[in-house]
Each structure stands twice: as C-alpha cells, then as structure tokens.
C-alpha cells in the first residue's frame, strides 16, 4: 500500500470510530479529500484507493485537474470548490465544479446560477457561516442565514444542499463541540425548511471527532491524506 492509500484507510477508520462513538453510521459522513496544491499523481493514487470526492481551493488549479481527470475517463469523481470565491472567477466554478462550499452572498450565488450551463445538473451549494472566526471575512452570521437561504434556494441553477464552516482553530474538544453544535442546530432548522438540504460540511483534521459528534456529514481532510503542503494555504 502506498502512503496515500494507507493514510486514506487510517482516516476512514477514524471517521468510523468517531461515528460509532456517537451512534451514527459511518456512511453518514462523507470524506472530502482536500487536494489543493497537490499534483494530479497524488489524486490518482487516492482515486485508485477508492476516493471519489475532492476539494480544491484555487479555481484555475482545480479546473486543470478536473479537465485532466475527465479526459482520462474518470467521470465518476466529484469536485468541490472550497476556497474563497471572487466574482470574476465564478464562471469557471459554475462551468466545471459539482459543488461550491463557499457561497456567502447573493451576488455570487446569482452569478453561479446564471453561469451554470443548462446541460449540467444544478450546482450543489453550501452557504458558508462565519461561526467563530471574527477575523475572517468569509461567511455570513447565523442571523443572516434565513434571508440568504431563501434567495439561494430560489435560484434555478443552484441546489441548496446545506452549510459549511471553518471554525477558528481551538485545541479544546468541548469548545470545538460547542461551536460544531451551533452549526448543527442551524443545519437542522434549515433541513426542515428545504428538502434538498442534507449536507453539513464541518470538521478538519484537528476537530473532526467533535464535528462528527455534533452531526457533520462531510469532513474536509488534506494534510492527513496527502502530507504537508509545500506552501502554506
């Protein structure tokens, strides 16, 4: 087994263990492999080890990888855009990705919807919540969620699937859990209003267990699968 296959197996075990501890089925938690800055060869190793869903932060880099894998017949992979999105890059996301996790304003959502090609399925979107990091410019507050969700849900090129957050780094499990639970409560409320909502993208390497215990359905893991990145992002 190569390193990436080995790492993936370990992460899958950790997800199962975390799910079992809180009486959830491990199938309820999707592993998103965050492959930003990593070469296509690393992604190919993960694909060979059974990984299907990949997260990319940089539009251009992601689009190049999507092309490469589609051209080589890998049409069953799922590509998630998880980086901050500028208006001038929205078209590339709309035309190539399957998911966008970082919708946090109507203007971007409207552009993504208009730019989504008619022959593609609606773009799956998550609304990004700024749950704990006051220094971050990305994401809306929970108080703003209802209004934006209503607008996003009405856009024909988009399918509202749920919420995403990047909590501020926090070593203490109980505090991680408290933040994750705020997200889970908002997610639960959204789910009752929109039948398309089924995804809470929450949890990275250091807070994965707390996120799963609170109800995350998608964890985003990079370094623990692919190793350290050459430049910090």
Ligand X SMILES: *Cc1c(COP(=O)(O)O)cnc(C)c1O
Residue with Cβ nearer ligand X (167 or 215): 167
For the CB of residue 19, give the shortest distance to ligand X in the complex, in Å.
Answer: 18
**Rounded Cα distance, 4 and 198, in Å:** 29
Residue with Cβ nearer ligand X (116 or 220): 220
For the CB of residue 225, give the shortest distance to ligand X in the complex, in Å.
Answer: 8
Residue with Cβ nearer ligand X (156 or 227): 227
For 105, residues 6+ apart whose C-beta sits below 8 A from its C-beta are 140, 148
Residue with Cβ nearer ligand X (170 or 189): 170
Q: Find how far residue 53's CA is from the centre of its chain.
A: 9
**Rounded Cα distance, 231 and 119, in Å:** 37
Paired with 31 in beta bridges are 219
For the CB of residue 23, give the shortest distance to ligand X in the complex, in Å.
Answer: 26
Residue with Cβ nearer ligand X (82 or 112): 82
For the CB of residue 165, give the shortest distance to ligand X in the complex, in Å.
Answer: 9
User: In Å, what is the CA distance from 83 to each residue of 22, 102, 144, 173, 211?
Assistant: 30, 7, 21, 26, 20
For the CB of residue 25, give the shortest distance to ligand X in the complex, in Å.
Answer: 23
**Rounded Cα distance, 109 and 155, in Å:** 8
Which spans of this chain sit near ligand X (rule: CB under 6 A)?
Answer: 34, 36, 57, 82, 166, 204-205, 220-224
For the CB of residue 218, give the shortest distance to ligand X in the complex, in Å.
Answer: 10
Instruction: Please name the residue ranges forming H helices in the chain.
Output: 3-21, 40-48, 59-71, 90-96, 106-115, 145-153, 173-193, 208-214, 223-226
Q: Which residue is nearest to ligand X (CB)?
A: 222
- Tokens for 62, please give them: 């992601």
Residue with Cβ nearer ligand X (36 or 89): 36
For 41, residues 6+ apart whose C-beta sits below 8 A from its C-beta are none
Q: For strand 78-81 and strand 123-129, is the pairing parallel, antiparallel, or unpaired?
A: unpaired
């Amino acid at each position: 087994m190569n390193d990436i296959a080995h790492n993936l197996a370990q992460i899958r075990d950790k997800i199962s263990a975390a799910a079992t501890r809180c009486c959830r089925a491990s199938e309820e938690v999707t592993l998103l492999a965050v492959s930003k800055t990593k070469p296509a060869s690393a992604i190919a190793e993960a694909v060979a080890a059974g990984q299907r869903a990949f997260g990319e932060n940089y539009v251009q880099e992601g689009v190049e990888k999507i092309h490469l894998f589609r051209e080589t017949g890998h049409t069953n992979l799922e590509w998630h855009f998880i980086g901050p999105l500028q208006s001038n890059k929205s078209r590339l996301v709309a035309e190539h990705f399957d998911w966008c996790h970082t919708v946090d304003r109507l203007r971007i959502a409207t552009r993504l919807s208009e730019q989504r090609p008619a022959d593609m399925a609606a773009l799956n979107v998550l609304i990004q919540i700024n749950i704990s990091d006051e220094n971050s410019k990305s994401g809306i507050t929970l108080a703003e969620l209802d209004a934006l969700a209503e607008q996003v849900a009405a856009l024909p090129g988009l399918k509202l699937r749920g919420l995403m957050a990047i909590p501020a780094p926090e070593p203490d499990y109980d505090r991680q859990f408290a933040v994750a639970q705020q997200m889970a409560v908002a997610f639960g409320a959204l789910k009752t209003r929109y039948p398309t909502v089924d995804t809470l993208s929450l949890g990275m390497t250091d807070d994965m267990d707390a996120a799963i215990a609170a109800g995350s359905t998608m964890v985003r893991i990079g370094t623990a699968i692919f190793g350290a990145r050459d430049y910090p992002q």
